[in-house]
Amino acid sequence: MRVFLGALLLMCFLFAATAARADIYRSVDENGVVCYTDVSFSKADERVMKTPSAPARQKESPGREPAKKEFHGIVKEKAAKYEMDPSLIHAVIKAESNGNPYAVSRKGAKGLMQLMPTTANDLQVSNPFDPEENIDGGTRYLKYLIERFNGDLTLALAAYNAGPKTVEKTGAVPSITETRQYVKRVLALYGGSTRYPVSSIASAVSSSSPKERQEPIYKVLTEDGSVLFTNLPVSRKNPRF
């Protein structure tokens, strides 16, 4: 009886500890003592419980849009902050990273809006994998490009992908397959106008031809009191020259 009770207690303990992750085997030693373990020590051991396999995870639907569901609040906040259409930001995120905040391209672009290291540094984005920082920096950069190209969203998106200087060389979307496909995809996802409203100041600066257009300069006062001049708007408080 003692052997039976001891075996029963041991079996209950093992069932509670391993029921979710292992099989249970019953063995009898040379003294007739019954033992239950989660490891089989000989072919004579009898498996008395088999742990069911975990159900397979359902594959995500091809039409799922993680960016809109998971980062909607951040996009809405940053779009309002920089006077941008949130649908455009969602379209860029979808095309750039498909909503993956840890995405890294072959060229080193990082995060939801795929910021290159130099661009992230200019925008003072310390952690491009942080959704809020990345969306804030990416939205600011896209706003800057739209103003730089006088509201031409097609050219601004081309510049976002290939760089503004590459676009300014011809004043059109460069004949780069990746860039052309990227612009086409974002515009299809966005479904809005290819003309984007810009401020009067931005229009005046961008009224010249692409080759003659001068880059805007922003004055930044750092925490240690140093003055930094950059061609990217670090924040809306920075004066423009």
Q: Is 149 helix (H, G, I), strand (E, B) or coil?
A: coil
Q: Which helix (H) or strand (E) holds 135?
A: helix 131-148
Tokens of 94: 């979808």
3-state secondary structure of 10: helix
Token pair listed for 129: 């994998």
DSSP secondary structure letters along 200-219: HHHHHHT-S-TTTPPPP-EE
Nearest to 90, CA basis, from 81, 103, 82, 78: 78
- Dist CA 121 CA 55 (whole Å): 44
Q: Which of 30, 60, 70, 96 is catalytic?
A: 96
Q: Which amino acid is at 108?
A: G
Is-contact 239 219, C-beta < 8 A? yes
Q: Token pair of 191, please?
A: 């479904």
- Residue 150: both structure tokens together: 């006088």
User: Does the annotation count 96 as an active-site position?
Assistant: yes
Whether 204 and 213 have beta carbons less than 8 Å apart is answered as: no
Residues with catalytic annotation?
96
